[in-house]
Chain A
C-alpha cells in the first residue's frame, strides 16, 4: 500500500488529538502525582481507639506525672498532668519522648542470662577471705533498692553501694525560700522537679554565681560571674563572714574575682532577705556549711523522708559509698542502671574489683553505660514498659510514693534485676512493690492524688485494693505536712560547719596538670534519649551534641586546637575523644561539655580536665 508510513503517522496524530480529548492523559498525570505522594516508604500512622493512661516518668528522680495518649493501647504522645501537686503539669524534653525508648536503636535486646547466673553463683561460692559481693545501685531509695539491701544483708560479706545522696541526704523545700544562691546548680535547667521549680520561681530572688551564662544564669535575677572553680571559696568565705564579720577575705576575693565588699554585701543580702537556700552543682560541703550558717536547716532544707517500708525489710545492708570500699576487694559486682541515676566514673569502680576475673553483671536497657565494661550485660525493660516505684525528688519536702506504671509489655527475654539478684542471694523478693504499698497504707497517713479526676483523698479513706489499683494508674501518695517523717534518710540533724582550707587550694598540682573546670551543659546524657533529641543539637544550636565541648577560642588556641575540630578530653580518670566548638561566651579556664557515656566515664563530681589536640 502506498504511503503506509504516512498513514501510520496520520493515525498516530489523530490518536494523539483524540487522546487529548479523553480523560486518559489527564488522569494519568494526576495519578502519577498521587502515586508519588503515597510513597511506600512513608509510614502510615495506625488508627484505633484513643484512650488516656496515667503513669509517672522514670527517667529522672523528679518522677513527673504523665498522661499518655494511646492509640489501641500504644502510647503515641505524652503530656504532663495539670494540677498535680508535685509536677504541676510539666514535662521536660526527655519526658515528652519517653515513649520512643522501647524502639531505641541502641536498645539491648538479649543477653547471656544463664551464663551470668552460673558465673555469679560460682564466683560467690568460691570467694576468698575479705572478698565481697556488691550491688551498685545508681538510684537508691526504690523498693528495688531495698531488695538489693536485703539481698546483700542475706549474703556473707555483701555490700550495697550507692552514689552519695545529694545535699547530704536532705530535701529542699523551695516554697519556703525567699532568696536562693545557686553556685552553678542548673536550677532552671533540669534541677529537681521542673514544674515545681517554675511554680515557686516567683517567690524567691535568684542569684546565680557561675563562671558562664548558663540558661539558669540568663534568667536569674542576678548573675554573679565568678572565676571557674571558685564556688567552694565563695561559699566558705560567705560562711566565715557570717560567723565572724572580721574574717580576712583577700584569698577568697582573689580566687573568685569579686571584691571584699561584694562578698560581704552578698552575705548580708542572704541574711536580710531570707529564708535563704544555697545550692551547688557538685555537692559542696562548703555549701552545706553556708546553709547551716544561714539557718536554712529546718526551713528550706529539711530531713529527707521516704515512704514507709515493711518491718521485715529493715534488716538490710546500709548504704555505702564506692570510695569507702577497700581496693581490689569486690569479687562479684551487680550494677543496676535500668533507670538513669548519678554517674560514677568507671575507673573509680574498677579499682575496687579484684584483679583476677571479677564477675561484673550490669542490668541496663541500652548498650551504652557500664555494660561496655562488664562481662555480662543483661537487658531490662525500659520506661514505659517497667513498673517500678520512684523515690521522692530532691525538692519534695514530704515523703512521696508513686509508680512508673507499665504502659506496654516489654519484649521477651528481659531480665528483672531485683529478681535476679534476690535469687542469687537466696531471698524471696516477689511482690516487693505491693508489700511496700501495703506498708504505706497501714500507716494511714497522707493523701492520695489520682490523676484522672485530679482529686486528693486522705489515705485513710482509701481501701487497700483501691490504693494498689490507683497506684498502678499513676496515682501519687504524699505524706502530710504534720506527719512524722516515715523514714528518714541521712543525718538526723544539721551538718556541722566545715572549717578548713578550700579543696581547690589543696592540690596545686592538679590545677596545673588539669587546668580546666568542667561544667556539664544540659541534663544528663542526651544520647540515651529518644532519637528526636537530635532536634536540640543537630537540627538546631540549642544544645551541644553529646561528647561535644565548648571552649573559649583562646583556650582552644593555647591547646593547639584549631576551630571546629576533634580533640581529646583528659581527666585524672582517663581520656576520651570529643568534638570541640569555639565559643567566646565560655570564659577561659572552663570547659562546657554535653555528656555522652564516654565523657561521663572520665568525669565525676568536681573533675578537672584538659584538652589536647587529637
Chain B
C-alpha cells in the first residue's frame, strides 16, 4: 500500500489582528465563542467573574478625569504564545501543546487534572477553570455544537482558535480531494461574528494575510511583548494613548470604580 504523505507544505501559524479603533465593546464575540464552544452560561448562584469566557472584552481607560477621560475596548483571548509558551512549560500532565501544523496552543481538557498551575503561569489571565459542571436550562442542551466536546468540572479550558472549525474545514477539503485548506476556509467564531469587523484571522506564515500585514504595521502592538512569549495576536490602534497604555509598566491610576 502506498503511503500518502501530506504535501510538504510549510506548517501554518494562525494569528489574529484586532483593530481597537473598531471594537465597540458589543460583546458579540463573547457570546459567539460561547455558542460555538459549548461554554455554559453563568452557574446558578455563582459569584461574579467565576465563569468561563474564552474571549473577554475589557474596557481600558486612559486614567484622566472628566472630560479628558478616554476609553478603549480590548478583547483578550489566549494569545497563542509562540515562544516559551508558559502554560506548556508548567503543565504536569502535558495537557497542553503547541500544535506543529497550526501553531495553535491546544488544551486537552481530558488530560487536565485541574491543578491550575497553567492559570498561574499565563501572563494574560486567558485560562479559565470549570468550578462547576456545565448546566444549561432544560432543553437548551439540544443547541450544543457536536463539533466540540463539553467539559466537566475540575478542568481548565481556554481559547483554541475554534479548532473544531479547522477540523471541519479539513474534512470539507478532504471531501473535495484536497489535502490542505485555503485561506478563508477556516475562521474562528469570534472573527466571523464581529459586526464591526475588528477581529481578523489568518496565517502569519502567509505574508499577504491580514495578521501578517498587521505584524509589520508600526501602529500594531502585542500585549506584554517584553516577556518574550511571542503572542500571535496583534492589536492595532491609530490612537497614541492606547499604544502608550499598552506599553506602560503599570495601568493608569485606578479610578474610583467598581466596574472593570
CA A104 to CA B38, docked complex, whole Å = 16
Q: Contacts of A550 on B, CB cut-off 8 Å?
A: 259
A538 touches B258 (CB 8 A): no
Q: Please give the distance in Å from B32's CB to the nearest CB on chain A.
A: 5
Query: Which of B71, B110, B193 is the most central at the interface, judged by chain A CB atoms within 10 Å of its CB?
Result: B193
Q: Of the candidates B24, B48, B134, which one forms a contact with A189 in the assembled complex, judged by CB atoms under 8 Å apart?
A: B24
Are A93 and B28 in contact (CB-based, < 8 A)?
yes
Report which of A41, A76, A190, A583 forms a contact with B145, defined as CB distance below 8 A.
Answer: A76
With A539-B42, A540-B53 as given contacts, are A93 and B258 in contact (CB-CB < 8 Å)?
A: no
Residues of B within 8 A of A542 (CB): 25, 27, 30, 56-59
Q: A218-B70, A225-B67 are in contact. Are A43 and B49 (CB under 8 A)?
A: no
Complex CA–CA separation, A45 to B260 (angstroms): 34
Q: Which residues of B contact A99 (CB under 8 A)?
A: 143
Centre residue among A71, A103, A188, A539 by max chain B CB count within 10 A = A539
Q: Are B52 and A103 in contact (CB under 8 A)?
A: no
Contact A45 B150 (CB under 8 A): yes
Nearest Cβ on chain B to A582's Cβ, whole angstroms: 6
What 1/0 flags go to A502-543 for Cβ under 8 Å of B? 000000000000000000000000000011111110111111
A417–B46 Cα distance when bound, in Å, is 38
8 Å CB contact of B136 from A43, A188, A544:
A43
B69 touches A585 (CB 8 A): yes
A92 and B146 contacting across the interface, CB-CB below 8 Å: no
Q: Could you tell me if A92 and B152 are in contact, using CB atoms closer than 8 angstroms?
A: no
Instruction: Number of B interface residues at 8 Å Cβ cutoff, please give it.
Output: 69
Q: Which residues of B contact A102 (CB under 8 A)?
A: 139
Given contacts A45-B146, A99-B143, A103-B142, contact A215 B24 (CB under 8 A): yes
A486 nearest CB across to chain B (Å): 29
Q: Is the interface of B mostly helix, strand, loop or mixed?
A: loop
Partner of B255, one of A42, A541, A584: A584
Instruction: Say whether A215 contacts B73, CB under 8 Å.
Output: yes
Which A residues touch B52, using CB under 8 A? 539
- B31 partner, pick from A42, A46, A96, A564, beta carbons under 8 A: A96
Q: A186 to chain B: closest CB distance in Å?
A: 9
Cβ of B138 and Cβ of A103 under 8 Å apart?
yes
- CB-based contact A538/B46 at 8 Å: yes
Nearest CB in chain A: distance from B75 CB, A: 10
Instruction: Indicate whether A225 sits within 8 Å of B28 (C-beta atoms), given known contacts A45-B146, A213-B71, A542-B59.
Output: no
Task: Pull 29 A–B residue pairs with CB atoms less than 8 Å apart, ordered by A.
Answer: A41-B152, A42-B150, A42-B151, A43-B134, A77-B32, A79-B192, A79-B193, A80-B193, A90-B196, A93-B32, A97-B31, A189-B26, A194-B26, A219-B21, A219-B22, A531-B41, A535-B30, A536-B30, A536-B31, A538-B42, A538-B49, A539-B49, A540-B57, A542-B30, A542-B57, A582-B257, A583-B258, A585-B61, A585-B71
Extra inter-chain contacts (16) besides given A96-B32, A218-B25, CB under 8 Å = A39-B133, A41-B133, A42-B152, A43-B150, A45-B148, A91-B28, A96-B28, A103-B136, A103-B137, A105-B138, A188-B196, A215-B25, A225-B67, A532-B34, A540-B57, A585-B71
